[in-house]
Chain A
């Protein structure tokens, strides 16, 4: 079946622009996660949804970052007034069950470059 998909795959934004990154999780997956991955580093947690509820947003680096999953399926990560330090790959992952030690399936990521 289809895996996690993300769009766009690449995004170039000028500093100060707003961007919206989309994640389509695997159908039926309850949990959805967003991560930020800097070049050559491991992913860092941003936020977590269980269905439509955002249960943990402790990793969002500033109030310029906002995520939503209004119908418990597709999720959007929005970054307002982008800054150069926001340049990174943004990964989305979904998981079938609520228990977090089960496998998370990752999408290919969106590479954001802020110029």
Chain B
């Protein structure tokens, strides 16, 4: 059972468009990570957010951790074909020894 729901599940956009992916839970996380996974590969970490309300930017990607540390968003500006992949959020609770991954958002950016 995955406690982190991502939306949308699938997103197909054209190069240059903006998009936002959401990651929601009823649980509080001590930190939250975003990963990108390409076919045939393992997930690669993009960012870790720790503080409620925290905003981090990675080039054209902006990550926000909700004030209550239950949700997060990933915004991509001017998407490029190289952004294509499966985006996964993953939360860590203070008392658990494992990451809980979200359901995933598959993004396709076409020319």
Q: Which residues of A contact B (CB under 8 A)?
A: 4, 33, 35, 40-45, 48, 55-56, 58-59, 91, 93, 100-101, 103-104, 106-109
Contact = CB atoms under 8 A, between A and B. Distances in A.
B49 to A, nearest CB: 10
Given A59-B98, A101-B92, A108-B40, A41 B104 contact: yes
B64 to A, nearest CB: 17
A107 B40 CA distance: 10
B84 interface: no
Contacts of A33: 98-99
Interface of B: 2, 4, 6, 30-31, 33, 40-45, 48, 50, 88, 90, 92, 97-104, 106
Classify the interface of chain B: helix, strand, loop or mixed. Answer: strand
A106 B43 contact: yes
Given A4-B42, A104-B99, A108-B42, 17 more contacts: A35-B101, A40-B104, A41-B2, A42-B103, A45-B98, A45-B99, A93-B42, A100-B92, A100-B97, A101-B30, A101-B48, A103-B45, A103-B48, A106-B43, A107-B42, A108-B40, A109-B42
A56 B31 contact: no
Q: Which of A33, A41, A42 has the most CB of B within 10 A?
A: A42
Contacts of B45: 103-104
